[in-house]
Structures are given as C-alpha cells and as structure tokens.
Amino acid sequence: MNHMLRPPDLPLTTQAAEGLMRRRLSVVEVAAMVEAGIFAEDERFELIGGEIVPMSPKGIRHEVIKVSLNLFWSARLPSGIGLAQETTFRLSEDTFVEPDFVFFRRADGLKALSPATALLAVEVADTSLAYDLDRKTRIYAAAGVREVWVIEANSLQAHIRRAPGIDGYREQNTVPPDHTLHFAFAPALDLSLGELELV
C-alpha cells in the first residue's frame, strides 16, 4: 500500500458499494497502477471480473506445504516443462489470479501463459479453502484452464478438477493423502502428499 497517498487510519477493504454499479478495471489498468506505485509491489490481491479482491493472509502451514511442494517438483521437473510460483495468471481482460503454482510448456514460455497454454494450476488452501473449491475453481473453469488442483494444507487432501466448462469442471475427484497424484503431462512429478517431506 502506498503510505504517501493513503490515510493511515483508512481501512483497506470496503463493501460500501454493495448492490451498486461499480467501475470495471482491466488487467492493463491495474498493472499501470502498480507500476505507478499506487499499490505496493508486495500487496497481494487478484482481479476478479474487474474488481480488486484482497487475498487471504497465508498461514505457516500453507507456506510449509508450498515450499515442500516446490522443492519436490523443482528437483524432478522435466526439461520441457516450466513451473511458476505465485505468478500473475491472466485469465481474461478483466481477471487475473495468483495460483501457488502453474505448470506450462517451456516452448510456450511464461510470457505466453494463458488458460490455453497452462497445463495445470495448483492452489494450496488453508483459510481460503471454501473460496478456492467453489468460486475460484469456477473462475478457472469459465476461462478454460484444463486442470486445477486444490490441496488442503491441513489434511493434505487434493481436490482435482478437470474438463472445464462455463459452469465449472465436469470431472471432480478428491484424492486422499495416501494415494498418488498423477501428472498426465509429466509422470516424473507424481507424488503422494502423505509422503511429502515437509520443510
């Protein structure tokens, strides 16, 4: 947050315009605001349908799982597959999200990351679990992201979503931590979350 522009006692979030029309922002406009210093570079938010939505604070368990997954996958990543962490993933002109991980083909490159080029988006969820399993997966599906995993930080259950459509994912499975998660595009990355070595 820019402390030079923002009064120190002004709350960061509001629902004051609930039920009223609001101005829709584009991804490009928000990027320009960040570039101009209106938002701090470390301020965590997503743009959903043109509205800025602050992200839930990350708990220590979330970070432990995320770092452990990154170490596991990075050590086994095939040469043709890229892995980005918490990157700005543009889904449309007025929507971007920041998944914990996105897998993509290196031949496409990160600059070309889109719903069409992403192989898999992974969300690690603790406080945001209900939102990630419902609204956020529907946002991914409507954009056409082929596969999304929501991993529960506490139970290590993984919710697998495939076959996107405008109303959500047609294929939905829950994988317990003692079962293997399979990567269709890179079997070397397969893992059982219950056996993941935690940092």
In angstroms, rounded to a whole number, what is the distance separating the alpha carbons of residues 95 and 141? 13
Domain harbouring 93, CATH code? 3.90.1570.10
Residue 2 lies in a domain: no
Domain that includes residue 137, residue range: 60-195
HSE (side-chain half, CA atoms, 13 Å) at 22: 14
Please tell me the predicted confidence (pLDDT) of residue 3. Answer: 61
Residue 105 lies in a domain: yes
Please tell me the predicted confidence (pLDDT) of residue 17. Answer: 85
Residue 15 lies in a domain: no
Radius of gyration (C-alpha) of the chain in whole angstroms:
18
**Contact (Cβ atoms closer than 8 angstroms) between residue 145 and residue 174:** no
Residue 123 lies in a domain: yes
Record the tokens describing residue 99, joined without a space: 């998944």
Positions in the chain short of pLDDT 50: none
Residue 120 lies in a domain: yes
Residue 50 lies in a domain: no
In angstroms, rounded to a whole number, what is the distance separating the alpha carbons of residues 89 and 98? 6
Task: Provide the number of structural domains found in the chain.
Answer: 1
The predicted-structure confidence for 141-184, as pLDDT tens digits, reads as follows 999 999 999 999 999 999 999 999 999 999 999 999 999 999 99
Q: The pTM is what?
A: 0.91
Cβ contacts of 37 within 8 Å, gap of 6 or more = 2
**Chain centre distance of CA 160:** 14
Residue 27 lies in a domain: no
Residue 100 lies in a domain: yes
In angstroms, rounded to a whole number, what is the distance separating the alpha carbons of residues 160 and 187? 16
